[in-house]
Amino acid sequence: SDTYAAWRAAARAGLAGGIPPDQIFWTTANDNSALFAETEMPGLEQKVSAAVPQAFLDLCELAICHRDPGRFALLYTVLWRLRGQRALLADESDADVAALMAMRKSVSRDCHKMKAFVRFREGDAAPDGRRRFAAWFEPDHFIVERTAPFFARRFADMDWLIATPDLVARFDSGVLAFEGAMARPALAPDQTEDLWRTYFASIFNPARLKVKAMQAEMPKKYWRNLPEAALIPDLIARAESRVEMMEKAGFATPPRRAEKSRSSKPAELPLLDSESPRSLREALAQAASCTRCPLYRNATQTVFGEGPDDAPVMFVGEQPGDKEDLAGRPFVGPAGQLFERLLAEAGVARDKCYVTNAVKHFKHEPRGKFRLHKRPDAGEVQACRWWLKQEKELIRPRLIVALGATAAQAVTGKGDQIMRRRGSFEKTADGTPVLMSIHPSSLLRQPDRAEAERSMSQFRDELRQILAVVPEVARS
C-alpha cells in the first residue's frame, strides 16, 4: 500500500545517507496515509549498497500494517542493524526482532479474523441487478487493503462494501477501490443473519467444546457484530447434553487412516452432523462445512445446488468448475453459460428448476496459474451422494435430468454408456424418472465443429423433452 511504499522510499534514502535510526522522526499525516520521515533526506534515488534480505521485506509487509505508531522506527532500526548483522532476523531473542515478529503475528491474526468474521448484510440490488452487500468490521490493525482482495475473489459476482473505522473497501462491478473512513452504516438485520446462525449452529461440535479456545478463536470483541454470537451462551449450555445424545447414537470419529482412504472408498461415512437437514436453507448451511471427502481442503467453498425448493425439475451436473468455485454458484462458468443458453433455446426456464452437481467441491490440480479440472472419483461421488439425497428428499422433483456420466452414476448408480443412453428416460431406485443426457462441457471440448453442432442440437432436443413431462417449467 501507499504507506509501505512511502516507508521504503524514506528508509532507502535514510540508509543511503547513512542516517542512524535515532536521528529520524517518523510520522504520518493521519495514521493510515502518507508517511513522512522528518530529517534531511539525501539522494532519494541513491542505491543502497547491500541488498535487503527478502525475509525482511516479507516481515515488513505485514508489520507495517500494525497500528503501533512506533512500527516505522522499529523497522528502520532493524533495517539499519541488518547492514552489519546479516543473520539478525534469525535471532529471536533480540528485542527488536522479537518486537517485529510479534507485530507480524498480530497483523496476520487480524487478517485471519477479518476473513472469518466479516458478516455481510444484503441491501437493495444494483440497477443492473447485481446483488449488493455491506458489512461493518473493526480490525485491530490497518489490514483492509491487504485483506479486501480475498473478498473480491470470493464474492466476485456481487457488489459489496466493507466499512471500517479506518478505511472503506468498495467492490463495484468487479472493481475494488478504497475510500476514507465512514461512520458505521446502519445495517438492518436480514435473512442472511438467520443463515449465519444456522451455519454456525451446524458446525458447532459440542464434543470438541473448549470454551477458552473458542473465545480465543472468536474473541468477544467481535461478538457484537456477529449474528451467530447470540447463540454461543446457549450452545455452550446445551453442549453437554448434545455430547451425551451423540454418544448414545453411537457416532464415532473415523480413525486417521480411514480418513486418508476416504476418497477411494465408496462408503457412506458416519458424521457427527449427519442429522438430515429440515430445509434447503439448513442443508446449504450444513454443506458449507462438509468434510465428507478430502475435496473440501483445496476448494474455495462448497457449491450447493440452487433453485426453488419445490422445483419440479432437478438438473444434476458433475462438479463445480473454477468459476463456480469462486462464485459459490453452480453452472455459471463457460459450460454453465452454454447450458443456460441451450436450455433457453429449448424453451425451459432455468430459474424454475433446481440446478445442482453430483459433487459439491471443485476437484482440480494446479497447472501454472490455472486450476485444471479433475474428474471426481467413485469415492468422492459416493461421499457426496448424501447431499444429493438430501436435496432430492427436500425438493421431491418430478423429473431429474442427469448431465453426463458422473451425474448418471450418482443418480442411477450406473455411469457408463452415456452416448447410448442419452435422450432416454430411466428411473432412480425410488421411481423418480431420470432423463439421461450429456454434460454441456463435452460440447465445448468437441474439436470437430460439425460434430459439436450436431451434438448441441441433439442436446437441445433432449432438453425439450422436459416440457412434455413437466410443462410448468416452460419459459413464460
Binding site for ligand URA (CB under 6 A): 317-321, 324, 330-331, 333, 335-336, 357, 441
- Nearer CB in complex with ligand URA: 263/406: 406
- Nearer CB in complex with ligand URA: 6/326: 326
Residue 368 grid cell? 501454472
Size of the chain, expressed as the number of residues it contains: 476
φ, ψ dihedrals at 324, nearest 5°: -65, -40
CB of 316 to ligand URA, least distance (A): 8
CB of 446 to ligand URA, least distance (A): 15
The DSSP code sequence of 209-221 is --HHHHHHHS-HH
- Nearer CB in complex with ligand URA: 330/379: 330
If we measure between CA atoms, which residue out of 73, 57, 59, 65 comes closest to residue 20? 73
Alpha-carbon distances of 45 from 11, 13, 19, 48, 460, rounded to whole Å: 11, 7, 15, 9, 65
CB of 330 to ligand URA, least distance (A): 4
Task: Name residue 438's amino acid.
Answer: I
What Rg do the C-alpha atoms of the chain give, in angstroms?
27
Q: Which residue is nearest to ligand URA (CB)?
A: 317
Burial of 96 (0-12, 13-18, 19+ CB in 10 A): middle
Alpha-carbon distances of 364 from 323, 361, 463, rounded to whole Å: 12, 10, 29
CB of 161 to ligand URA, least distance (A): 28
- Nearer CB in complex with ligand URA: 204/339: 339
- Nearer CB in complex with ligand URA: 192/337: 337
Partnered with residue 167 across adjacent β-strands are: 180
- Nearer CB in complex with ligand URA: 302/319: 319
CB of 409 to ligand URA, least distance (A): 13
CB of 381 to ligand URA, least distance (A): 12
